[in-house]
Chain A
Amino acid sequence: MGSALVRRRSTVRIERTQSAVSYAILLAFALFVIFPFYWMIVTSFKGETQMRSLVSMFWPSPFVSENYDHLFAKTEFVSWYGNSIIVAVSSTFLATAVGTLGAYALARLKFLGRAFMASTVLITYLVPPSILFIPLYAQIRNLGMADSLTGLIAAYPSFTVPFVTWLLMGYFESIPVELEESAMIDGATRFGAFRRVILPLAAPGLLASALYAFTQAWNEFLYALVFITNVRLRTLPVGLSTFITGDVYGWGYLMAGAVLTTVPVIAAYIYLQKYMVEGLTAGSVKG
């Protein structure tokens, strides 16, 4: 009795130490992860004089909006924002529509070439853009779509569609076949069963893949850098990268632009974290 009590006490002590260590490590990870964002936000509210002087390094003093003013008044930032929205939203709709239909067919239907196409989608997802961007650029230019947002919207499915399809195949495969079968026995057509039974059940997957398609298109850099030469037609990542001047002055409005570029994806992520975390692991790994 007595020794059991002693043992329990020592277990409690070990557990406390363990959780203290866990929290310490967690805190270190969190600082490492958060600090660059903190620094970005702080910088975006610092005035030029403060930045040159290393005064009050970790807090803006005074708080100024001059970087944001400059961004809106003196650069093409607003156009870039619009461009990024157009490209990312179109890509999202395109990828989700094409990917949903394809994934359902590849996960469920029986037809010649299904296994081959399923492998092709996976391999396409793994082929990196860095070996495709030059021929893709040549092709987009031949089609007369170079230096236009249409060109980007046409090219982005090369990575969004395989990813969305692969992710959704996993979702569809996880839905029991019996649900469809019983719907069809009740008189639904195959398409009716897909639309009324399977799609609603796969809604979390659709949401996750749409978010990832949006994020991928919003963040894309290489194609946008290569395809677009007109300053007004740049997307945010390329536009921001042209703010690198080597001068101190540029950093304030560059960080202001970085803040505004990060906001949509982080906001969507915070709001829909659960789906995105599930989707992230589902995309590569059996969940």
Chain B
Amino acid sequence: MATLHPSSPPLPSGERVGVRGAYHPEVSPRPRAGLEHTLRRVLGPDYRMGFLFVAPIVVLVLALVAYPFCYAVYLSLTRKYVGMPPVFVGLENYVRLTYDGFFQRAVINSFVFTFGSVAIKTVLGMGMALVLTSRIRFRSFWTGVLLIPWVAPTVVSALNFLWIYDYSLGVLNYLLVHVFGVLKQGVGWLSEPGTAMASVIGVNVWRGFPFFGISFLAGMKAIPGELYEAAAVDGATVLQRFRYVTLPGIRNIVMIVLLLSTIWTFNDFAIVYILTKGGPGGATMVLPVLTYEIAFGAQRLGEAIAVALYMLPALAFVIIVLSNYMRKGRVR
């Protein structure tokens, strides 16, 4: 983080630096014979404080992620109804889903929703970052304003758009029909199969593009100015500078943001659930909403979890690639 510059450390100055080799329990452990020495060698010099500090995270990760995850994998291999003991059925749930037309449609919808959203967010985010790096006044004010959708509660945003998209009294139809006169008659944005998916994508884009913008912006700021000057001296046009200086400079950040957003968007529940609940007629049914519907509407838990886990291999692949990128980004 280039943001932290501990300029003058509030420390007693080191007049005792000369005694570096002297005994200190933490810095240089006194070669003690016996158990403690062995423990330090095997478990690492800071093992006591390390284990103590990490213990709460280990407990939480085991209890809230690892165990539920394993339990989910097990349940997906069973026939399990709410309030009944699970019956092991092997891969039956997965096999049945594979040939289930409604599920197939939900998979396709999920991909359309995800890739549609991510593509538009990338374009808008790039636009936002470029505008914010150009010569403007009150840059941090503008940045702050454009980030608001990202901070606001998702459910509130989804409800706002539900109201905006309303067929008879929504402001979108009012604008298009009465103010701009583009349409003769209002559109049932969320109730017609032809527009429902696009409308839902619109809300996800509205909420998510600022994250793309702010991340790309951080990447662009990190590119040394000399590179642009050198390119300008060599006679590069604006487009060439973008293509050969900016893009390579933010390549890693773009990868991270794209993958991160792909995971988030693919698993976005709130927006679709609030706006359409997967309707009309399954036109916007995506996997997280289908999981919820099967689990708490139809009460078939095993099958619901199989829906949630069906894409696990793909998800695991994305997570591994992404976590490598993110760790690489941290190594300076």
Task: Indicate if B34 sits at the interface (CB-CB under 8 A).
Answer: no
Task: Indicate if B214 sits at the interface (CB-CB under 8 A).
Answer: yes
- Across the interface, which residues of B come within 8 angstroms of A179, CB to CB? 6, 9, 11
Task: Indicate if A101 sits at the interface (CB-CB under 8 A).
Answer: yes
In contact, A117 and B274 (Cβ under 8 angstroms):
no
Task: Indicate if B155 sits at the interface (CB-CB under 8 A).
Answer: yes
Residue of A nearest to B264 (CB): A128
In contact, A221 and B54 (Cβ under 8 angstroms):
no
Q: How far is the CB of A72 from chain B (nearest CB, A)?
A: 18
Per DSSP, are chain A's interface residues mostly helix, strand or loop, or mixed? helix
* Stretch of B95-103, B115-123, B239-247, B324-332 at the chain-chain interface: B324-332
Q: How far is the CA of A278 from the CA of B146 in the complex (A)?
A: 15
Task: Indicate if A75 sits at the interface (CB-CB under 8 A).
Answer: no
Q: How far is the CA of A110 from the CA of B47 in the complex (A)?
A: 7
Within A255-280, the residues touching B (CB, 8 Å) are: 255, 258, 261-262, 265-266, 269-270, 273-274, 276-278, 280
Residue of B nearest to A208 (CB): B3
- Across the interface, which residues of B come within 8 angstroms of A174, CB to CB? 1, 3-4
- Across the interface, which residues of B come within 8 angstroms of A237, CB to CB? 153-156, 270
Q: How far is the CB of B211 from chain A (nearest CB, A)?
A: 7
- A26: contacting residue among B14, B131, B148, CB under 8 A: B131
Task: Indicate if B51 sits at the interface (CB-CB under 8 A).
Answer: yes
Task: Indicate if B314 sits at the interface (CB-CB under 8 A).
Answer: no
Task: Indicate if B112 sits at the interface (CB-CB under 8 A).
Answer: no
* 6 residue pairs A–B, Cβ–Cβ below 8 Å: A39-B163, A101-B53, A127-B69, A130-B288, A157-B64, A197-B9
Chain B positions within 8 Å of A, measured between CB atoms, are: 1-4, 6, 9-12, 14, 16-17, 19-20, 24-27, 42-47, 49-54, 56-58, 60-61, 63-65, 67-69, 71-72, 75, 124, 127-128, 131-132, 134-136, 140, 142-157, 159-164, 166, 169, 171, 174, 178, 206, 210-211, 214-215, 218-219, 222, 252-253, 256-257, 260, 263-264, 266-267, 269-270, 273-274, 287-288, 291-292, 295-296, 301, 304-305, 308-309, 312, 315, 319, 322-323, 326-327, 329-330, 332
- Given A117-B57, A222-B288, A285-B329, 12 more A-B residue pairs with CB atoms under 8 Å apart are A33-B145, A111-B44, A135-B72, A161-B57, A173-B332, A182-B9, A189-B25, A226-B292, A261-B153, A273-B147, A277-B144, A286-B330
Report, nearest first, the 3 A-B pairs whose CB atoms are least far apart: A111-B50, A128-B267, A105-B53
